[in-house]
Amino acid sequence: MIAAERSEKEADRALIQARIAVKEAREHVRRIEREAKEEARLAKIKQDQAKSLGKRGQALGRHGQM
């Protein structure tokens, strides 16, 4: 009887630890998703800036060539 109660308590502890691990893993995934979204946003800004610079660079040297 005592061994069964001990086993049940150990199983309960294992279940609690598993639930905590799942909760932590889900939070980790959410954090990674937020970071990826922010990195994508920053990459888009850099891409737009590079495109703008490229357009301005094409106009250089064209003055007086007409």
Q: Is the pLDDT of residue 58 over 80?
A: no
The count of structural domains within the chain is 1
Q: Examine residue 37 and state whether it is found in any structural domain, yes or no.
A: yes
Quick one: what percent of the chain has pLDDT higher than 90? 68
Positive or negative torsion for Cα 29, 35, 39, 44: positive
Q: Examine residue 59 and state whether it is found in any structural domain, yes or no.
A: no
Query: How many Cα atoms sit within 13 Å of 49 on the Cβ side?
Result: 6
Q: Examine residue 27 and state whether it is found in any structural domain, yes or no.
A: yes
The average pLDDT across 22-40 equals 98
Global pTM value: 0.63
Q: For residue 7, how many other CB atoms are within 10 A of its CB?
A: 10
Q: Examine residue 60 and state whether it is found in any structural domain, yes or no.
A: no
Q: For residue 50, how many other CB atoms are within 10 A of its CB?
A: 10
Write out the residue range of the structural domain in which residue 21 sits.
Answer: 1-47
